[in-house]
Amino acid sequence: MSEQTKKEIYAWAKSIVFCFLLVFICRQFVFTPIIVDGKSMMPTLENNNRILVNKITSIDRFDVIVFHSPVSSAYYIKRVIGLSGDNIEVKDDSLYVNGKKYDEPYLQANKEILAEGHLTADLKETVPEGYLYVMGDNRLKSNDSRRFGFILKEDVVGKAALRFYPFDQMKVINE
């Protein structure tokens, strides 16, 4: 093997190792892919959607986040309804945070198919410091803070950034 061929092989090997290292670092510390498991976030996210989760962004009210389940070893995907210190109230299917009424347009599709009744039972909660209150968009089918309570901010993996599969449904999440 000539000296030139050895140099080319070495250059290619260096490039490949660098690429693998870059992908590893990005996946560990910046973005990670997650598969949606279940129907609790329908219609926003559907079962078996693939999403990218941004691990280095701040979390705001109404962001879709991924966190470690407080009741199993799985990841959960839910929408942040309350931040630390917030007073949450749901009354007659309307959301109030700190006394201010908020529209929830992501619930509209589920409200339209509901023959009668409410998607969300009335509730009142105050979110403790260091915690978040989360609910799924498919309120009738979601296992969320109404069942398992508040989630620790430390358990948040990150914010859902992009649905990349199925390809025909690719879109930015949390716009």
Pull the structure tokens for residue 158.
């990150």
How many CB atoms are located within 10 Å of the residue 73 CB? 6
Residue of 147, 172, 153 lying closest to 82 (CA atoms)? 153
Q: Are strands 156-165 and 171-172 parallel, antiparallel or unpaired?
A: antiparallel
Q: Is 94 a catalytic residue?
A: no
Catalytic residue among 58, 69, 78, 159: 78
- Please measure the distance between the N-terminal and C-terminal CA atoms of the chain and give it in whole angstroms: 55
Give, in order, the Cα–Cα distances in Å from 131 to each of 102, 115, 161, 174.
Answer: 20, 34, 21, 20
Q: Is 40 a catalytic residue?
A: yes
Say which residue the tokens 């109030």 belong to.
96
Catalytic residue among 2, 14, 40, 73: 40
Give, in order, the Cα–Cα distances in Å from 142 to each of 1, 60, 85, 152.
Answer: 63, 20, 23, 18
Q: Which residues contact 65 (CB under 8 A, 6 or more apart)?
A: 59, 77, 78, 79, 80, 132, 134, 156, 157, 158, 159, 160
Q: Which residues are catalytic?
A: 40, 78
